[in-house]
Amino acid sequence: MAQDFDADVIVVGSGAVGSNAAYELARQGKSVILLEAGPSVPRWKILMNFRNSGRHYDHNDPYPNNPWAPTSYQPGYLQNTGSFEMMPGMLKLVGGTTWHWGGATWRYIPNDFKLNSLYGKGRDWPIGYDDLEPYYTRAEYQLGISGGDGEDQSGTHKGQAYPRRSKPYPINAEKFTYNAQKMHDALGTQDYAMCTEPTVRIHKPWDGRPACEGNNNCDQVCPIGTLYNGSIHADKAVRAGARLITEAVVTRIEVGDGKKVRSVSYMTPEGKETKLTAKVFVLAAHSFETAKLMMMNEVGNSSDMVGRNLMDHIGIGMDLMAGEDAMWSGRGPVQQLTIMNWRDGDFRKEHSANKTALANGNPQISLAEAAINEGLMGKELDARIMRDSARYQFVYSFLEMLPSPANRIQPNPAWKDSLGNPGIKIHFDVDDYVKAGAVVAREMYQDMAKRMGGTIAKIHGFENHDHLMGTLIMGADAKDSVVNHEGRSWDHDNLFVASVGVIPAAGVVNPTLTAVALAIRSADVIAKEV
């Protein structure tokens, strides 16, 4: 007797990754239910929340923080036990955490997929660059990305376009900001491998999104909808026939015959539970939340790798007072000029790679606060604010963390949300590979400051950058990984994971595009099976 299902596919999580999977499946004629723990909130409300708050340093602040679906900054929700305080920004609403991000959408380079084979460190991917390239292209056209076709993004292929691309970027690269151009000129192309950051913050209209006006507010909320976020594909999925259910906190996963997942259950804010069945399930609820959900239900964890191998692009940064007096951070893109001197090479046998970039966020309130705390007033205060605002530049580096099972997240039953679901316990230590890489980055900072005729005001210690890879690690062996190259659970044929959490080798580039490409690839696999 044929079994009835509520949908062909249920996708848990409406962020950029889950929504792209849902859209691809709906577009290919599958019935899809998309579950989201948070609400759907229109942009104007988020923007007004931002403008009417004094808490602009808290990038989660304008977004819903509900007792049943808290953001990561809800006190107690994330509890750290390691030497490093891992506190990523995490949102719960339709569209997910891409509501606030820099918009960087890099591809990994071929050597990133073979880290262990080439350099004897970390893990290899179970697939190579060529396997993923067509999906990178599809993801870039879905997200609408601006980038430089002719540029070397590896730092090792000077004068060539690299990595290989089967299609040009949908939108060309924009001009450098004034301060980026000044930095580019001061550093010089002889010694510095520089390129433009590929971005979903577009300088030409695309797919209904307007060209960027340079609001310099990507990390909080784009006021005009230029910057891509996952809600765009949640909406597209609905228009293609998917059913979106908001404020649906998935808490249970039920496994039936043949180790197949039979159902998921979600709770409403009032605690009412609803069970839904499907042929296939895709977990795309953020790399922390997905791992927590799987562990809460003892699903897909025969390897004991769920929640382990947490990798972020732990990084350092530099406050630089440039010699040039018209640099003025805060004009236009929040990120753009990128330095790839240390992205790839034999040095990866010894220390972490790094990606270093100029951050262009508006620093003025922080600079003014420091001057006021110093006791400056009147004309002296105004002069200091203007002097520092004109010169201040923030340079930051991502470092390449290696996967370690000891770096992990777990459900934390000592903290519960309003529905009784646990918080998240994190244990994270920065490894020696990263520490050695930071030494190299600091040396580069000294050289950069000298070439720019500036002075280093401060070098910041290790900070997280919200790129939470490894917790759902992909591999070639069921004994030491969570999913295979398709994103399919080794333990349950009809369970897929779509998340940056599947990435097994972190490299040094922002991982969202790779996760979307993998999700589209998984959707193609699923579409052939249901």
Task: Confirm or reject binding of residue 174 to another protein (CB under 8 A).
Answer: yes
Q: Is 186 in the site for another protein (CB under 8 A)?
A: no
56 is catalytic: no
Contact flag: residue 379 with another protein (CB under 8 A): yes
Task: Scan residues 198-227 and list those touching another protein (CB under 8 A).
Answer: 203-204, 211-217, 220-221, 223
Which of 254, 369, 432, 477 is the binder for another protein (CB under 8 A)? 369
Binding residue (CB under 8 A) for another protein from 246, 362, 393, 522: 362
- Residue 370 found at the interface with another protein (CB under 8 A): no
Strands laid side by side in the 194-196 sheet: 194-196, 335-339, 354-359, 392-399, 315-321, 455-463
Toward another protein, which CB reaches closer, 379 or 528? 379
Least distance to another protein, CB of residue 76, Å: 10
Q: Given the structure tokens 């697939």, which residue do they identify? A: 127
CA dist., res. 331 & res. 361, Å (int): 8
Query: Total number of residues binding another protein (CB under 8 A)?
Result: 63
Q: Which of 15, 144, 333, 437 binds another protein (CB under 8 A)?
A: 333
CB of 73 to another protein, least distance (A): 4
Q: Which is nearer to another protein, 95 or 300 (CB)?
A: 95
Q: How far is the CB of 325 from another protein (least distance, A)?
A: 10
Residue 386 binds to another protein (criterion: CB under 8 A): yes
- Using the contact rule CB under 8 A, the part of the chain among 34-42, 125-133, 324-332, 343-351 near another protein is 324-332
Min separation Cβ 10 and another protein, Å: 30
Positive/negative CA dihedral, 235, 237, 238, 242: negative
What is the closest distance, in whole angstroms, from the C-beta atom of residue 132 to another protein in the complex? 32
Q: Output the 3-class SS for 312-380.
A: CCCEEEEEEECCCCCCCCCCCCCEEEEECCCCCCHHHHCCCCEEEEEECCCCHHHHHHHHHHCCCCHHH
Read off φ and ψ for residue 444, nearest 5 degrees: -65, -40
Q: Which is nearer to another protein, 186 or 245 (CB)?
A: 186
Nearest C-alpha neighbor of 61 from the set 50, 70, 69, 52: 50
Q: Find the binder of another protein among 298, 304, 350, 380 (CB under 8 A).
A: 380
Quote the least distance from Cβ 393 to another protein, whole Å. 13
CA distance 261 to 7: 13
Q: Using the rule CB under 8 A, is 287 a contact of another protein?
A: no
Please give the Cα distance from 513 to 530 (Å, whole number).
26
Span of 5-13, 338-346, 373-381, 470-478 interacting with another protein by CB under 8 A: 373-381
Q: Looking at residue 176, what DSSP letter applies? A: P
Distances (CA, A) of 471 to 160, 181, 352: 35, 38, 20
Distance in Å, CB of 44 to another protein, minimum: 12
Least distance CB 41 / another protein (angstroms): 16
Give φ, ψ of 98 to 5 degrees: -70, 0
| Cα dist from 424 to 21, 32, 146, 404, 501, whole Å | 26, 29, 36, 18, 15
Query: Which part of the chain contacts another protein (CB under 8 A), choosing from 169-177, 262-270, 454-462, 490-498?
Result: 169-177
Closer residue to another protein (CB): 47 or 476: 47
For position 65 contacting another protein by CB under 8 A, the verdict is: yes
Measuring CA to CA, which residue among 472, 470, 465 is closest to residue 290?
472
Contact 386, 287 (CB under 8 A): no
Of 28, 79, 87, 456, the one binding another protein (CB under 8 A) is 87
Pick one of 141, 178, 347, 462: the residue that binds another protein (CB under 8 A): 178
Give yes or no for residue 5 binding another protein (CB under 8 A): no
CA distance 273 to 236: 27
Binding to another protein by CB under 8 A, coded x per residue (else -) over 22-51, reads -------------------------x--xx
* Dihedral pair phi/psi, residue 303, rounded to 5°: -80, -10
Beta sheet of 422-427, edge-to-edge order: 78-80, 422-427, 408-416
> Who's near 501: CB < 8 A, 6+ residues apart?
287, 288, 290, 291, 468, 469, 470, 471, 472, 473
Sign of the dihedral through C-alpha 211, 27, 499, 44: positive
Q: Distance (Å, rounded) from C-alpha 510 to C-alpha 468?
A: 10
Q: Out of 83, 150, 188, 372, which residue is the one contacting another protein (CB under 8 A)?
A: 372
Closest distance between another protein and the C-beta of residue 151, in Å? 17
Indicate which residues carry an active-site annotation: 467
Interface residues toward another protein, by CB under 8 A: 47, 50-58, 60-61, 65, 71, 73-75, 85, 87, 174-178, 181, 203-204, 211-217, 220-221, 223, 326-333, 362, 364-365, 368-369, 372-373, 375, 377-382, 385-386, 389-390
